[in-house]
Amino acid sequence: MARVAVVLKGYPRLSETFIAQEIRALEARGLDTLIVSLRHPTERARHPVHGEIRASVLYLPEYLYQEPGRVLCAYAALRRTPGYAAARALWLCDLRRDPTPNRGRRFGQALVLAHELPATIQHLHVHFLHTPASVARYAARIRGLTWSVSAHAKDIWTTPDWEIREKLAACAWAVTCTAAGQAHLAARAPVGRVALVHHGIDAGRFPPPPLRQSRPDGRDPAQPVVILSVGRAVEKKGTADLLAALARLPANLAWRLVHIGGGPLLSSLRRRAADLGLADRITWMSARPQGEVLAAYRAADVFALASRIARDGDRDGLPNVLVEAASQGLACVATWAGAIPELIEDGRSGLLVKPGDADALAQALAALIRDPARRRALGAAAAARVGRDFAFAAGIDRLAPRFGLPACDRRAAE
């Protein structure tokens, strides 16, 4: 069986649990994996799944000037090979259309990857269609290897059309996690090249929650309704819209917000909350390991995510945190953005509002804060939907044959 290098932008990352869980599940099916990371980790905390992964990690130079010896050694070893000439021509063609320092760094990283990649590696699989796929594509051309790609969200919507078309024409196969993403990519790819594979939820890591003992209704200040939001502090998550909605809630409603996630906008969001007079009703938590996030889902009454399209075109696909929250029977309030309607059916398994509409979001939150019975019904419907259509093992069953593995887990079947 072929050994596969999985190319990632960074590893490990708390916000990319779905990738780590996929790697671990494929390892359990028998895949021999090397992880290649374009960046070193920036977080000390790790999820339990990171400790379960057996693969070793090859870190490429994050910035070429930091490790010039590795880059020069790779160049000297590869520059006279046929693969190098073909990859260099490809890179120069890309560089003319994207004359940025980042494009130059991608080729340098690809040189190091192609030079240091063990001879046992026969295929590259890359997560994200933008920068990581460029590195994998150049390296695969140098070494004469096949490569494949999993596309997710930002990479689908912010990568130029010319680059999407050329990468999807060059890869062996591609998968993505939402029907919206698949439609966008399939329109720019050879017929049948892009398949839909939901990330799904691993019931072993997110088992059904215990029965909730209390169902506050927003009338008792001593028992506020807990609203949970999990997501990086970036524009597309719409946390500023969520704060604006919370500021519009009736003064007599008892609630508090717990926010989990780090990110570049966190400080400005905290200042905005203070300006709106919400500071004493919000608990800001940084990124947290999976166990703590699961506990937060189970302690909350409502899950809120105000996703929107960012000014640079970045947007969510189907946020994994919504699937996780739904699996725990949480009533979810979200927006029509991205692929969220592929999970949340408005009025049946959650509530959806127009992105950026703080008034509508406030009305939806107020309605659920006041109505524990409706929260319970929506949460139960959402959990049933996850169990029916977003099973983690089903996604791995679809991926496994692409790596030459059995279509189902024989040990589980036994």
Q: What is the dihedral of CA 190, 400, 18, 4, to 10 degrees?
A: -80
Domains, the chain, in order of start with CATH, read: 3-200+391-413 (3.40.50.2000), 225-389 (3.40.50.2000)
- Looking at residue 263, its pLDDT comes to 93
Mean pLDDT across the chain, nearest whole number?
94
Do β-strands 3-8 and 194-196 pair in parallel, antiparallel, or remain unpaired? unpaired
Q: Which helix (H) or strand (E) holds 33?
A: strand 32-37
Q: Is the pLDDT of residue 260 over 90?
A: yes
8 A C-beta contact, residue 389 and residue 193: no
Total residues found in the chain within this entry? 414
Q: Residue 185: what residue type?
A: L
Burial 183-222 (b: 16+ CB within 10 A, else e): ebbbebbeeebbebbbbbbbeebbeebeebeeebbbeeee
- Looking at residue 324, its pLDDT comes to 95
- Looking at residue 405, its pLDDT comes to 92
Least confident span in 2-6, 88-92, 126-130: 2-6
List of E strands, 177-254: 194-196, 225-230
- Looking at residue 153, its pLDDT comes to 87
- Looking at residue 212, its pLDDT comes to 77
> How far apart are the C-alpha atoms of 298 and 330, rounded to whole Å?
8
8 A C-beta contact, residue 157 and residue 314: yes
Do β-strands 121-127 and 56-59 pair in parallel, antiparallel, or remain unpaired? unpaired
8 A C-beta contact, residue 187 and residue 161: no
Q: What are the pLDDT digits (tens) for 307-335?
A: 999 998 888 889 999 999 999 999 999 99
- Looking at residue 46, its pLDDT comes to 87
Q: Percentage of the chain with pLDDT > 70? A: 98
Q: Percentage of the chain with pLDDT > 90? A: 86
- Looking at residue 414, its pLDDT comes to 40
- Looking at residue 62, its pLDDT comes to 94
Q: Is the pLDDT of residue 409 over 70?
A: no
Q: Is the pLDDT of residue 105 over 90?
A: yes
Please enumerate in sequence order all residues whose Cβ is within 8 A of that of 30, keeping only pairs 6 or more positions apart, or say none. 1, 405, 406
Mean predicted confidence (pLDDT) in 135-156: 96
- Looking at residue 413, its pLDDT comes to 43
C-alpha torsion sign, points 185, 106, 136, 93? positive
- Looking at residue 1, its pLDDT comes to 55
Q: Is the pLDDT of residue 298 over 90?
A: yes
Q: What are the pLDDT digits (tens) for 196-232?
A: 999 888 888 899 898 877 789 999 999 999 999 999 9
- Looking at residue 305, its pLDDT comes to 98
Q: Is the pLDDT of residue 2 over 90?
A: no
